[in-house]
Amino acid sequence: MDQGLAAVLGAAVGVVGTLGTACFTYLATRQQTRDRERVEHGQWLRQQRQQAYENFLIAYDRFAAAATAVEDALQGPRTEGYEDYVAALKDAMDAFGSARVRVAVAGPHFASQSAGRIAVLFSQTLKSLQAWGEAQASGGDVSETSSQLHDVQGRVQLAYRDFVRDARSILETPPSTPGRTSGGNPFARRADLSAHDQRP
């Protein structure tokens, strides 16, 4: 083979090799950057969810305390402070509604559903207390309304337990590490992204 041609071919092979190495390095660096951003986003989302769940539970406690105060007031003779208890209960319900919206935004869907079930039961609690107060004010029988309230309270406790279980499961599950759960398959990474959005 002509020495000049051999030199040209050798140079061409070197260029191809260099380009191949550069291309591989670029793709690997790009994937590493994407993986790092994905993990950082997962950590950020986890923090946002933790804050939303904590605020939700604080609002839950506030409503429960306000509802208990109204119930205690209804079990005795009507006093001037009763209206203040009712106003505090309505304020607590508004705060709870805002906290529930933050859970819905933070997700995932099944945590939002758990929060929604508590919201429905709290709405029923409010209606039961109002019915109790109206029956008491009119001198009617309050046994039925108080029984309804106690039934709702039992279901609230179960719904609360479910929400705490769901929130703990979400927060105890770390963001998936790229290349581990998917076995390095880039087509499986999209499935990994939704790991927190599946009920355990």
**Is residue 37 in a domain?**
no
What is the Cα–Cα distance from 7 to 5, expressed in whole angstroms? 5
**Is residue 38 in a domain?**
no
Here the CATH number for the domain that contains residue 71 is 1.20.1420
The widest CA-to-CA distance across the chain, in whole angstroms, is 116
**Is residue 15 in a domain?**
no
Which of the two residues, 151 and 189, has the higher pLDDT score? 151
Which of the two residues, 163 and 175, has the higher pLDDT score? 163
Contacts with 162 (C-beta within 8 Å, 6 or more apart), sequence order: 114, 117
Number of domains in the chain: 1
Give the least confident one: 58-62, 75-79, 163-167: 75-79
Joined together, the tokens standing for residue 52 give: 């939303």
Domain extent at residue 130: 48-197
pTM above 0.85, yes or no: no
- On whether the CB atoms of residues 142 and 135 are closer than 8 A, the answer is yes
Please state the separation of Cα 14 from the chain's center in Å: 54
**Is residue 155 in a domain?**
yes
**Per-residue pLDDT averaged across 64-87, rounded?**
87
Give the pLDDT confidence of 141-160 residue by residue, as tens digits. Answer: 888 888 899 999 999 999 99
Give the pLDDT confidence of 116-131 residue by residue, as tens digits. Answer: 999 999 999 999 999 9
**Is residue 170 in a domain?**
yes
**Is residue 124 in a domain?**
yes
Region for 61 from its dihedrals, namely left if φ exceeds 0, alpha if ψ lies in -120 to 50, beta otherwise: alpha
